[in-house]
Structure 1
Amino acid sequence: MDARKTVVVTGFEPFGEHKVNASWVAVQELEKLGLGRDINLFVKEIPVEYKAVQTLLPSLWKQHQPQLMVHVGVSGMATTVTLEQCGHNHGYTRPDNSAFCPSSQCCIDKGPDCLLSAIDMELVCKRVNSSSLGVTVSVSEDAGRYLCDYTYYVSLYQGERRCAFVHVPPLEKPYSAEDLGRALKAILREMLKILEEQAEHKDNCKHEH
């Protein structure tokens, strides 16, 4: 039996003005670096399409059963690497790459309005920013009500919130592909540490009662 942990990381295909999607480039850089010998890393490029997300994400969770799934997207407004704390269920009015938009304008029918990641993004941010990474990390609570937010919500719903979303700026604005790959590696290692700490805390609480 493989004792290593499994992490799945996704990036998006090109869309709109993003002829090269920095998110997928950053994920490919992360794949080159790896997350260490104790982690099985799987990467996947996701279409910028609502229907594709609805079918792809449940199959990724089922197939890999990861300890953590992290989705990476690009934000033209971002100048830092941004950790998203929550995904939103409603407000999807922007057509995707195939000119489709969900008629319900929501991710999951009758799902909660907002789902929070099990990971404390402020803590991840603090730890990464106090290292000598050279890439600034910030936290947001609005992933933008497009495919990024949509993907995050669907994944949080599927994966019992063991999930994160990271927005990266476009390439060279200000970070290179290599910088973004290094940043993702540092961020994911911290996220895994935090999930481990939470699991240990739960075990300790159980033994105390």
Structure 2
Amino acid sequence: MDNRKRTVVVTGFGPFGGHTVNASWVAVQELQKLGLGGEVDLHVYEVPVEYHTVQTLVPTLWKQYHPLLVIHVGVSESASTVTLEKCGRNHGYRVRDNSGLCPDAHCCIAGGPDCIHSVIDMESVCKRVSASGLGVTVSVSKDAGRYLCDFTYYTSLYLSHGRSAFVHVPPLGKPYNGEALGLALRAIVQNILELLDEREEIHCKQHLMSH
């Protein structure tokens, strides 16, 4: 492992619909306060709930920071747990955004695969965070909901060849406050980084053995 700082970008969404305060952005701001330790260079962004903004912002984040990992956080009205999304989907975007628009052809990337899975093993992350005794319930899902969350996730997965994650949080107070969500996010990011390190070590060993 070298001594260079690893860059991690975490995004939350701005207000939309009845969510005048978006729990995802509150959680990301709490994560920023907590930090990820001296070895991680953390950048956070609030993403407007607009498809066209996502189409320009997400590629910019990857180009500007060359991050090891980008984690997008969104709020889900129906969630009662902190939910790790396994994949993003390309088609079915018919719900209009804050600008009253939805994508042409209702898809993210014309000609892209229908579904892209994250390279991160979300089941392992879920088990590790659940075992850490945070008092926040974590679960895994494979349907991010075909709105801006899913759209953002698919776009990021497509650009990064799967090196992205998406976390859905419940609305504030249902049942967790912002601080609890921030702690859960920190545990999730730290466990993802550990998993990526382990994968890298295994890959290095295999590479050395093959020579």
Range into which the TM-score falls when normalised by the shorter chain: over 0.9
| Structure 1 residue 71, shift from structure 2 partner | 0.1
Correspondence for 2:186: 185
CA distance in 1: counterparts of 2:99 and 2:22, whole angstroms: 17
The residue matched to 2:28 in structure 1 has which SS? helix
| Structure 1 residue 205, shift from structure 2 partner | 1.2
AA paired with 1:90? H
Matched, 1:103 2:104: yes
| Structure 1 residue 151, shift from structure 2 partner | 0.1
| Structure 1 residue 50, shift from structure 2 partner | 0.6
CA distance in 1: counterparts of 2:115 and 2:3, whole angstroms: 35
The residue matched to 2:186 in structure 1 has which SS? helix
Instruction: Give the TM-score, by structure 1 length.
Output: 0.98
Correspondence for 1:75: 76
Correspondence for 1:35: 36
Matched, 1:135 2:136: yes
| Structure 1 residue 2, shift from structure 2 partner | 7.4
Runs of 4+ in 1 over 3 A off after TM superposition: none
| Structure 1 residue 110, shift from structure 2 partner | 0.4
* Aligned residue pair count: 209
Instruction: Describe the superposition over 1:130-172 as per-residue Cα deviations: whole angstroms up to 9, x where unpaired.
Output: 1111101000000000000000000001112110000000001
AA paired with 2:115? C
Correspondence for 2:198: 197
Matched, 1:21 2:11: no
Correspondence for 1:160: 161
Correspondence for 1:84: 85
Identity %: 62
Instruction: Describe the superposition over 1:80-128 as per-residue Cα deviations: whole angstroms up to 9, x where unpaired.
Output: 0000000000000000000011121000000000000010000000000
| Structure 1 residue 208, shift from structure 2 partner | 1.5
Instruction: Give the TM-score, by structure 2 length.
Output: 0.97
Correspondence for 2:176: 175
Q: Which moved more, 1:198-207 or 1:41-50?
A: 198-207
CA distance in 1: counterparts of 2:159 and 2:205, whole angstroms: 27
Matched, 1:3 2:9: no
Correspondence for 1:206: 207
AA paired with 1:28? Q
AA paired with 1:89? N
CA distance in 1: counterparts of 2:56 and 2:17, whole angstroms: 23
CA distance in 2: counterparts of 1:2 and 1:54, whole angstroms: 33
CA distance in 2: counterparts of 1:161 and 1:29, whole angstroms: 26
Matched, 1:57 2:58: yes
| Structure 1 residue 184, shift from structure 2 partner | 0.2
* RMSD between aligned residues: 1.1
Correspondence for 2:67: 66
The residue matched to 1:94 in structure 2 has which SS? coil
CA distance in 1: counterparts of 2:124 and 2:3, whole angstroms: 30
CA distance in 2: counterparts of 1:204 and 1:57, whole angstroms: 33
AA paired with 1:131? S
AA paired with 2:87? C
| Structure 1 residue 186, shift from structure 2 partner | 0.3
